[in-house]
Chain A
Amino acid sequence: MSRLRSVPDLHPPSKEAARGLGEASIAELERWATVHRLACVRMLAVAKSGHLDSSLSAADIVSALYNRVLRHDPENPAWHERDRFVLCKGHAAPIQYAALAHHGYFPHEDLQGLRKIGAPLQGHPDMNRTPGVEVSTGSLGQGLSMCVGIGLALRLDGLEDTAHVFGVLSDGDCQEGQTWEAATAAAHFGLTNLTAIVDYNHLQTDGTTEQVMDIGDVRAKFESFGWDSIQIDGHDMDAIVEALERSRTLDRPAAIVANTKKGRGVSFMEGRFGFHGKPPSPEQALEALEELEARLEEQTAAIQGAQG
């Protein structure tokens, strides 16, 4: 496990960038997504527990949010006017932890304590134990309702035009009836500061989503609930950023149904059933790290080449 080390950052995002005042390029966001994926593999290899493939499918979305779209201040996590990120699919906690550590919400070393007794990083996000977590999640279906409550509170404070709520949902979230209660409420209350991103990876614990309980045309469902609703490739960084930034400008709640592949970025896992909730073996972790590090080197070289 000698490869379980931190990846040095090419350059940490500036405070201005973290607040959304500067912009990371698409190539940089893609590279950060690889950095976050590497952190997830390392975390899970050490923890020997957790949901790796669910974290990897959301990596590009989370990278776009934390490294470009979100207005947040790691030095002042309680900054009231910040955007809120809610990981409705709480089982993908490692990808959020990777982004939070990257921005200095807590030390990188804490990532190695994932799921360990007494450590701050719980199996599912815990707002009272982990800086940067807005609300605790982990029970599917509740997250979007929490987002509605947060959005309404920000509106009461006159911040609806600036402080936006981004919730990342899973296939399973869309099977829970409560998600559709929340979708109804968001439209009814006319929320304009809410974006729901569905990390639609088509795999769940017992099989493919289509086999277990087909959720069908999720985009059309949100649209029929009165939302602005679009569908994108959830691994196309250009499309992700465009959709997220557009969603801030709408006069309705926004749904972005992102078609993704579970385990994205690790070939033996990508789109394959059987990895949900299963940590990688040491051999699998090494294979995954090799592939991701090779990708990171390519991405780094490409960025340096463009800058040079």
Chain B
Amino acid sequence: MAGKSEPAATRNAYGAALVELGEAHSDVVALDADLSVSTQSAKFGAAFPDRFFNVGAAEANMMSMACGLAATGKRPYASTFAIFATGRAYDQIRLGIAHNELPVKICASHGGVSLGEDGASHQMIEDIALMRVMPNMTVVVPADYNQAYRATLDSYESEEPQYLRFGRPATPVVYEDVPETLGTGVDVLREGKDISLIATGHMVWRALEAAEALEAEDGVEAEVVNVSIIKPIHSESIVETLAKTGVAVTAEEHRIVGGLADAVRHVAAEQHPVPIFAVGMGDEFGISGTGEACMEHFGLTASGIADRAREALLLKPIVSHPPLLGPDWT
């Protein structure tokens, strides 16, 4: 397998896995909008120039072209930055791809604020929300290079439209090798009984670090859960960890509204209400800085997760106190 053990960018996994898909399947075609080196689709373009279409800076055209290609039997992979893929071309994805249930894979790189210096215009923190509300769309956010490789390969097996979110910076791997499967899209990476740290994408390795800090500094046994398929979210797995720990913190490089926090809280509200605190972007846009400086600025760090966990743990005994959950509670 083509797994990595050193830090690597999820977008690089996309580029490498897409070439593997191209070798295996002649119906795979790729499109990009003048960002193919950044998104890594250029690797596919170099290997299969006849099946690669760089449309220039015209994302709306790219998505509708992908629709036409898929309607004629091809398996298109369309990539650009997350902001342009979902923000600029929303209606094209909606009518041409999602409504038609065509097997187009929208593979967006540079999700979140960790792309850094380009700043707010390029830092997409609403894409998961936009793709979650779209009927028929699956939303996949891999945690590391190895899972991103699997997510790309597995996307071919699905006949449905999918949104895959990749990132710019090299990040530590959390899977030792390319996993056999994405499974339910909800993986328990670290067992614990006191609190669930439910994270996605670039926040997963940080959640693992937070769990170590909580154990070392507070004696808290945190469970770390990686959600790689945010929609449809595997509610049984979410309920299982919530029932086990009774309190949770979600962590995402995205707006809390509409993102992982909402997805988990939705499951909890209906099936297992417990306190769920969130780490993510509030009602604010990103700013320029190095990727890591941006993450720190917005509290998207291991210590940010650990701090929220400590607050959540304070609430846990209160809300789990039987009288407060009784009929007199207002």
Residues of chain A having any CB pair with chain B under 8 Å: 80, 84, 126-128, 134-139, 141-143, 145-154, 156-157, 177-178, 181-182, 184-185, 188-189
Contact = CB atoms under 8 A, between A and B. Distances in A.
Interface stretch (B96-104, B149-157, B205-213, B223-231): B96-104
Nearest to A143: B64
A128 B65 CA distance: 18
Interface residues of B, number: 29
Interface string B69-81: 1111110100000
B69 A152 contact: yes
B285 interface: no
B101 A150 contact: no
Contacts of A145: 60-61, 63-65, 67-68, 92
Nearest to A136: B100
A182 B76 CA distance: 17
A182 B64 contact: yes
B95 interface: yes
Of B29, B71, B72, B74, chain A has the most CB atoms within 10 Å of the CB of B72
Nearest to A148: B65
B58 interface: yes
A99 to B, nearest CB: 19
B71 A178 contact: no
A146 B56 contact: no
Contacts of A154: 72
Contacts of B74: 153, 156
A148 B100 contact: no
Nearest to A165: B68
Contact of A134 (B63, B64, B71, B91): B71
Please name the 4 residue pairs, one residue from A and one from B, whose CB atoms are nearest each other, closest first.
A149-B68, A145-B64, A153-B72, A181-B61
A148 B51 contact: no
A136 B53 contact: no
B55 interface: yes
Contacts of A84: 72
B66 interface: yes
A156 B29 contact: yes
